[in-house]
Each structure stands twice: as structure tokens, then as C-alpha cells.
């Protein structure tokens, strides 16, 4: 299962990504007024969800298929008091069912890229829609693919984290035809695992949205709420379920 081996190192690994802290701050801000019942597919170690629950009196349902990531999230939640409440469900993006429809379903830090085909992405959007209240929000982000960076850095080891005990590197092997990235994570020169994801074009998302029951509320180009432009490095979508 992807992330099983990486789980103990996940937070350290992703701390080296320039968008790690930015995503935390962005979701903390945008979810402040997004209603009480939230859900995060791909909650992982709870990096974002637990920050929300520390600060706000909300209920977050975290969904993930990786038991090792969920175990870390569960232990962190139990380790200290939180303002809000957490429920964890071990399930897949395409099949999860919430007990109550959510006010907002959010999926931070390019996690939507783990859904590798557009038909599956549409199935995921349908599942999100089925689990939202009418007028509920669906928020997700991804980077804008940069072919120059990808060519220059393809298969190169990049240092993401280092302390006295551990050095974490990753390398991204781009499949430019199928628009898929195989990201290999190494700890102290030992390969932990390879995780696969894809990049998404803005036009593809527009097509998917028009085939769904969502309307576009906002497209940001950065985690400081910048408007999206053709030179933006990120795409952050705020959709709302029709029928409010
Ligand atoms: C990049 S991590 C993101 C974790 C967290 N949201 C964050 O921002 O740090 C992606 C997470 O999505 C989970 N995941 C990937 N594909 C999934 C799927 N099809 N169903 C459920 N969880 C999935 C992985 O197990 C992993 O925990």
C-alpha cells in the first residue's frame, strides 16, 4: 500500500516542500467559515486536519486507505486535547460514505493527483458530491506542471529533510507521455517506496467540472489567495455543489 513505508517519515519529508506550510495556512483560513462538518479524503497523518481541530470547534472526518498513516493521525489526535472532534474512516476516495453529508470536503497538498485517470476523477467528484450538503463546498489544489523544472530535475535526488539522524531525499521520474510522476523516497540512502501521482491541466479540470454537478466559485493561483493567471504556479479550486 502506498505510504505504508513512508508514513513514519511523512511529515519530515513533506516539510521540505515549499508548499507544505503554505497549504496548512491556506486551508486553515479558507475553512474557518466553511461550516461545522468537514471531510478530508487522504487525511494522512492529520497534518492539516489536526491544525483545524486545534483551532476550531469543527467535526472533521478523515478518510484514508493507508492504515499506517491513519495510525499516526489517531495517535496525534489522542495525544492532546483539541477544540474540535475527529472521526477516521479507512476507505478509498471512490467508495467512502459519510454518516452525515458534509458542509465542505477538502483535499489538500495535490492529493487529488493520486487519482490517475479522468474517468476515475469524475467518479471521485461524483462521490464527493454524494457526500456533500446542497451548496456544500469542494476545495482542492494541485501545482501547474512546469516542463522546464521537470526536465531539469528528472530522476535527480533532491534533499527534503536532514537532521543528525536522518536524511530524506526524493526523486521524481516523469512519464511525460502519460503525464504521471513516480516519486521515490529515500531515507539515509535506503529506498522506502515509490509513490505515483499525476499532474492536471486547468483545462482538464474545467472539463471535469462541466461534466459534474459542481459550479466554480473561485480559482486561486496561489496559497495566499492570489487570483489564478496563466503564469500561476498552482491551481486551487473552490467548487460548490449545485442545488443550494
Ligand atoms: C500526500 S498525502 C496527503 C496527506 C494530508 N492530506 C496532507 O496534506 O499532508 C496523500 C494521502 O492520500 C492517501 N490516499 C491516496 N490515494 C488514496 C485513495 N485512493 N483512497 C484513500 N486514500 C488515498 C494516502 O494514503 C496519503 O495518506
| Three-state SS at 208 | helix
Res 242: pLDDT: 87
Percent of the chain with pLDDT over 90: 98
Give the pLDDT confidence of 92-103 residue by residue, as tens digits.
999 999 999 999
Which residues sit with their C-beta closer than 6 Å to ligand 1? 2-3, 42-44, 47-48, 64-66, 69, 92-93, 108-109, 111, 114
Kindly provide the b/e burial profile for residues 147-182, where b requires at least 16 CB atoms within 10 angstroms of the residue's own CB: eeeeeeeeeeeeebbeeeeeebbbbbebeeeeebbe
Give which of 175, 184, 194, 203 is closest to 118, Cα–Cα: 203
- Distance, C-alpha 211 to centroid of its chain: 22
Nearest residue CA, atom 25 of ligand 1?
66
Sign of CA dihedral 19, 189, 173, 70: negative
Cell of 15: 516539510
| Three-state SS at 18 | coil
Give the pLDDT confidence of 102-119 residue by residue, as tens digits.
999 999 999 999 999 999
Kindly provide the b/e burial profile for residues 89-104, where b requires at least 16 CB atoms within 10 angstroms of the residue's own CB: beeebeebebeebbbb
State the CATH architecture for 7-143+199-241.
Answer: 3-Layer(aba) Sandwich (3.40)
Shortest-distance atom of ligand 1 to CA 2 = 25
Give the pLDDT confidence of 129-175 residue by residue, as tens digits.
999 999 999 999 999 999 999 999 999 999 999 999 999 999 999 99
Read off φ and ψ for residue 126, nearest 5 degrees.
-65, -40
With beta carbons less than 8 A apart as the criterion, state whether 48 and 133 touch: no
Read off φ and ψ for residue 243, nearest 5 degrees.
95, 25
Read off φ and ψ for residue 238, nearest 5 degrees.
-115, 110
Residue ranges per domain, the chain?
7-143+199-241, 147-197
Res 115: pLDDT: 98
The DSSP letter of residue 227 is B
pTM (global) more than 0.95:
yes
Decide if pLDDT at 203 tops 90: yes
Res 243: pLDDT: 77
Report, as an integer, the average pLDDT of 66-70: 98
The mean predicted confidence, pLDDT, of the chain is 97
Burial class (CB in 10 A: 0-12, 13-18, 19+), 24: middle
Report, as an integer, the average pLDDT of 36-57: 98
Ligand 1 centroid distance, CA of 70 (Å): 10
With beta carbons less than 8 A apart as the criterion, state whether 14 and 20 touch: yes
d(CA 131, CA 29): 23
Shortest-distance atom of ligand 1 to CA 14 = 9
Decide if pLDDT at 244 tops 80: no
Amino acid at each position: 500500500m502506498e505510504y505504508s513505508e513512508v508514513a513514519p517519515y511523512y511529515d519530515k519529508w513533506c516539510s521540505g516542500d515549499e508548499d507544505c506550510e503554505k497549504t496548512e495556512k491556506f486551508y486553515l483560513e479558507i475553512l474557518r467559515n466553511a461550516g461545522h462538518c468537514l471531510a478530508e479524503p487522504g487525511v494522512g497523518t492529520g497534518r492539516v486536519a489536526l491544525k483545524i481541530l486545534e483551532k476550531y470547534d469543527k467535526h472533521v472526518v478523515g478518510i484514508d486507505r493507508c492504515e499506517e498513516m491513519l495510525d499516526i493521525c489517531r495517535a496525534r489526535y489522542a495525544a492532546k486535547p483539541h477544540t474540535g472532534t475527529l472521526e477516521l474512516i479507512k476507505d478509498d476516495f471512490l467508495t467512502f460514505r459519510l454518516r452525515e453529508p458534509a458542509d465542505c470536503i477538502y483535499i489538500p497538498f495535490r492529493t487529488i493527483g493520486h487519482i490517475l485517470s479522468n474517468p476515475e476523477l469524475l467518479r471521485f467528484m461524483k462521490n464527493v458530491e454524494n457526500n456533500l450538503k446542497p451548496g456544500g463546498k469542494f476545495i482542492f489544489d494541485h501545482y501547474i506542471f512546469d516542463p522546464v523544472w521537470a526536465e531539469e530535475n528528472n530522476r535527480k535526488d533532491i534533499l527534503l529533510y536532514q537532521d543528525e539522524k536522518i536524511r530524506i531525499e526524493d526523486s521524481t521520474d516523469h512519464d511525460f507521455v502519460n503525464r504521471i510522476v513516480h516519486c521515490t523516497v529515500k531515507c539515509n540512502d535506503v529506498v522506502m517506496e515509490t509513490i505515483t501521482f499525476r499532474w492536471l491541466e486547468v483545462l482538464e479540470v474545467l472539463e471535469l467540472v462541466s461534466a459534474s454537478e459542481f459550479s466554480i466559485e473561485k480559482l486561486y493561483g496561489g496559497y495566499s489567495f492570489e487570483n489564478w493567471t496563466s503564469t500561476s504556479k498552482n491551481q486551487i479550486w473552490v467548487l460548490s455543489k449545485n442545488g443550494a
